[in-house]
Structure formats: structure tokens, C-alpha cells
Amino acid sequence: MEKLVIEGGRPLSGAIKIHGAKNAALPILAAGMMAEGTITIHNVPDLSDIQVMTGILRALGCRTEHQGDTVTVNTSTANSSHIPESLMSQMRSSIFLMGPLLARFGKVQVYQPGGCAIGDRKIDLHLRGLAALGATIEESGNTIVCTAAKLRGAEIVLDFPSVGATENIMMAAAMAEGMTTISNAAREPEIQDLQNFLNKMGAKIIGAGTDTITIEGVSQLTPCTYRIIPDRIVAGTMMIAAAVTRGTITLENVCAAHLTSAIHVLKRSGVQIAINGDIINVSCLTRPKAVERIVTSPHPSFPTDLQSQIMVLLSLADGLSIVKETVFESRFKHVDELTRMGSDIRVDLNSAFIRGVPRLYGATVEATDLRAGAALVIAGLAAQGTTVIEQIHHIDRGYDRIEHMLSHLGASIHRVTPVAT
């Protein structure tokens, strides 16, 4: 298995461009299945999750090409609505194809999705929403089959503002007969991006970014060319990395409005942040300050996807900080690894109590999930000595060659690939 080796203690310096958002690209690639023809998507990162999604599209009969940051998908040859279990088990986001395939073919067969082990993420809200639109759902073991001769608009109230459920229902409803209203909808920027893409294909959707989304169904969508928004979690990760290394960096291709809560927390910790259009300058030349309390919650609150990374900053801050996780119940798996590097963290139920220490120390650690892996990279950058991170396939799901980004900023980080024997 590949590993990342980091020599810590080097302040980050320089400028990098933030790549496109994984969590926008995946549902948009899925939504492209609803239009017959060729869609072209720009600013798509080269991630293992993107590779799995394009692999699924090919298994459904599409022709795909990924050159640079552009993905083209010809959906006119699609001839199947059965997603292979071997591919679906690799990525939870494959569930996004339920709505589009149901809308186009009237049937879809899927399996319980895979992905990071960060807690119980049931798909009942997805299924309940599709059922409200008229789908018949049959579950047998790990297999789920949805059928619908015709989808019809409905008023749907989500028990929780689930991003995936909101997006799946949006896509199916875009071609349902009549009006659909999603109440208590998720408000993440990636949902707004999906709305904009669907509308460019001819859908009639308003309200994304608020808690109520209204969809007027249309009979047909047409292919288009579209550009993905920047990845706010990658940008947030790099901002935190600059702060923990006492560095000064410039991030290009960033939407600061998508990072309001994260920027607020970083400023409270003493990080200097200046915003100029799509450019953010980050500097932290002194020891960061503790932040009394951070609570993760759906957008626009502090994102759960930056919880593990901010914990590294707080591990080196002056004072006691508390982080409460309210989105996923198993998202403190990085704590044991950070403790091995010298962090002073105590977990009680869904809260972590972090007492800042003067320094961290290099160690051999394991990435247990995507964002935990990113946190360990940040810790390795700040640590004294050498850090070796194993199981980095998790990191490759969400960061396009993270070692290249950080090396460009002056970090000593490289990927080690075992030699086959």
C-alpha cells in the first residue's frame, strides 16, 4: 500500500489554485444521465471517487473521457440502470444515480453503498423521498430495486437536511410530472451548483441554498457544458495547514462565501485572513489561540468535513477548546492517531476536549477515513520529525494529489509506492 512520508516543521509559503469540488462533481455527473447526448464538465478534480463514478457510468453503457480537469460523458449509449455492486461498494456517492436513472429509465437497481466508515449513514431519506414521487421500492438483502412508470410531484419534508437525499429528490423531481417542494432541504453550496447545472439542462428549480426547494417538472433535459465550483473543504484544509505550520499562503479559485463559518473560527484562533474576490491570503506567524466551543452542523454552520482538520490546529493552540460533533457519530477516529503524535485530547460521547500542547511529534499513523487522513497530513506538516501516513487511498478520494499541492507550498512530503516483488 502507498504511504505519505512527511518531514515536519516547515512553514508553508506560496500560492496554489484550489481544484473543483468533489461533492459537486459527483451528483452533477450523475445528473448528466438524465439528458441524452454529450455533457462536458470543467474543473473536475482527478480523484479516486471521480474515477469510480465514471467507471459506473461506463458500466451503464456511457462513453466517458477525462482529460486534464474536463470530463465528457456521452449518455446516448446508456443501456442499463443496474449499478454493479463491485463499484457501488467503493463509493457512497454512487447512490446519487438512483434519482437520475429512475427518471430516465423508470427503474434502477442498486446496493447499499460503501464509502468512509464515519458513522451510520442510512439511505432511508433517499428512498422515502423517491417513494413520495411515486416510486415502488423493493429491498431484498443488500439489493434495492426502484421502479416507477411515471414520477409525480409531491410535497416532501425531510426529517434531517440530508445533502444526498435533497440532491437525489431534486434530480428525480426535475423530470416528474407537476410540482415538487422539498422542505427542510440541505443548504450546502454543492446543492446550489447542482440546481444551476440542472437548470442549464432545462430544469425549472428554485430555492437551492435555502431550506425550501421548488421543482417544476419538465419532460426532457438537454446536454450542456458546465464548470464546477471550487472545493471549499480543500480550501479550508489548506488554510488550516498554513496556520498550523505558522505559514503564509495564497489560495486562488476560492469562494469565500462558502467558507464563512470556517473563516470565522480561524479568525477567532488568531489566523490572519484577507479576501480579495476569489483569492484568499492566510497567515499565522504566532501560536494560535484556543476556541472555546465549535459545534459541527449542516451548512451554513461549521462543516463536519473540517472537524478533524481544525482539531489539529486546536491541538497546538494556547488553551482548552471543545469540539462537538453533531452530524456523524463515528467521526473521532483520528483522535487516537493524533494522540500518538502528542495531542492532548479527551473524548466524551460526541464532544472532544482539546488542551493545546507546544508541539507534535512525528509518528507512523493510519488514515481511517478521508478527512481524518487530511488531518494527519496537517499534523505531520507541523510535527517535529518524520510522519508516515498509511492507508492513504482514503485521502485520494477527496484531494487531487495532496502531496503535489503541499510540495508546491514548500512542504517536505512525498508518496512512497512499494516495489512489486
The grid cell for 60 is 451503464
Q: 179-209: b or e for each residue (b if 16 or more CB lie within 10 Å)?
A: ebbbebbbbbbbbbbbbbbbbebbbebebbb
| DSSP helix/strand/coil, 14 | strand
Residues annotated as catalytic are: 116
What CA–CA distance (Å, rounded) separates 124 from 158? 10
| DSSP helix/strand/coil, 132 | helix
Quickly tell me which residue has 447542482 as its cell: 194
Q: Is the peptide bond before 300 cis (omega within 30 degrees of 0)?
A: yes
H helices of 275-364, where?
A: 307-315, 334-340
DSSP code, position 327:
S
Among 414, 400, 402, which residue's Cα sits nearest to residue 47? 400
Name residue 204's amino acid. Answer: K
H helices of 135-204, where?
A: 163-173, 189-200
The DSSP H or E segment spanning 140 is strand 136-140
Rg (CA), the chain: 21
The sign of the CA dihedral 225, 81, 169, 133 is positive
Distances in whole angstroms, Cα of residue 101 to Cα of each of 25, 55, 139, 148, 168: 17, 16, 17, 11, 10
CB 95 within 8 A of CB 168: yes
What CA–CA distance (Å, rounded) separates 199 from 154? 19
